[in-house]
């Protein structure tokens, strides 16, 4: 199956038509939205943006989205925050928000909270869908500091997902294969960046694309 992966749109509605076109051009089965639909906006802003997306959309909130985002967006997309779900025969575990940042954004968790939320829904061979990255993997900010989540890394090390997709760190766009897991940060959609994730019998593959 093929997935268009986007994150960090931050209310740039002018990019939505490009996202929809990319979804069609790449013949995707579903769209994975990894959070930050808003730029510290309201849940109504998130609903407005996500209602413009075409296709089969599975979404989680980002740290810049308000806490009531999951329940509000469920009217226009599939809210999968804190849930285990399947697309076809592919199983996912998903968690939005982020570990604690220096910016005191609306949707942040302590590391132990992340563990408590992810552990019950995680399983071997899943696709892990989070807003925040694993500590030490696609999480480096320009100063050279790693700011990812140690709790998410712990889940990855325990369950070895076939793929782990995340956003949050705009500067850490990329694809990494490590210990049998494919990691991808597609980059901020507000800057015209996205990714394609393919999952098949042979495993996972991915590429970065321009919207």
129-138 pLDDT, tens digit each: 999 999 999 9
Nearest CA to 67 out of 46, 90, 93 is that of 46
57-59 vs 78-79, strand pairing mode: parallel
What are the angstrom distances between the C-alpha of 132 and each of 23, 76, 100, 128?
Answer: 23, 23, 10, 11
71-84: pLDDT as tens digits:
999 999 999 999 99
Tell me the mean pLDDT in the region 135-155: 97
Pick from 184, 64, 70, 195: which is nearest to 134 by CA? 184
Write down the pLDDT at residue 41: 97
What pLDDT score does 189 carry? 98
- Rounded average pLDDT over 195-211: 96
Full-model pTM = 0.97
Q: Tell me what pLDDT residue 47 has.
A: 98
Kindly state the tokens that stand for 103.
Answer: 């910016």
Which residue ranges form the domains of the chain, and what is each CATH number? Answer: 2-210 (3.60.21.10)
């Amino acid at each position: 199956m093929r997935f268009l992966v986007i994150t960090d749109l931050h209310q740039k509605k002018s990019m939505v038509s490009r996202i929809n076109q990319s979804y069609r051009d790449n013949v995707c089965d579903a769209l994975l939205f990894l959070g930050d639909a808003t730029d510290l906006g309201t849940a109504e802003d998130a609903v407005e943006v996500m209602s413009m997306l075409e296709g089969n959309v599975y979404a989680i909130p980002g740290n810049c989205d308000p806490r009531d985002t999951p329940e509000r967006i469920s009217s226009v997309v599939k809210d999968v925050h804190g849930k285990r779900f399947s697309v076809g025969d592919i199983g996912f575990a998903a968690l939005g928000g982020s570990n604690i940042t220096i910016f005191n954004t609306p949707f942040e968790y302590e590391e132990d909270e992340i563990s408590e939320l992810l552990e019950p829904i995680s399983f071997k061979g899943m696709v892990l869908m989070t807003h925040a990255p694993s500590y030490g993997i696609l999480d480096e900010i320009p100063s050279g500091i790693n700011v990812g989540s140690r709790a998410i890394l712990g889940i990855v090390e325990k369950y070895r997902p076939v793929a782990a997709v995340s956003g949050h760190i705009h500067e850490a766009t990329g694809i990494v294969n490590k210990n049998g897991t494919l990691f991808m940060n597609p980059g901020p959609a507000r800057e015209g960046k996205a990714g394609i994730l393919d999952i098949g019998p042979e495993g996972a593959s991915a590429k970065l694309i321009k919207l």
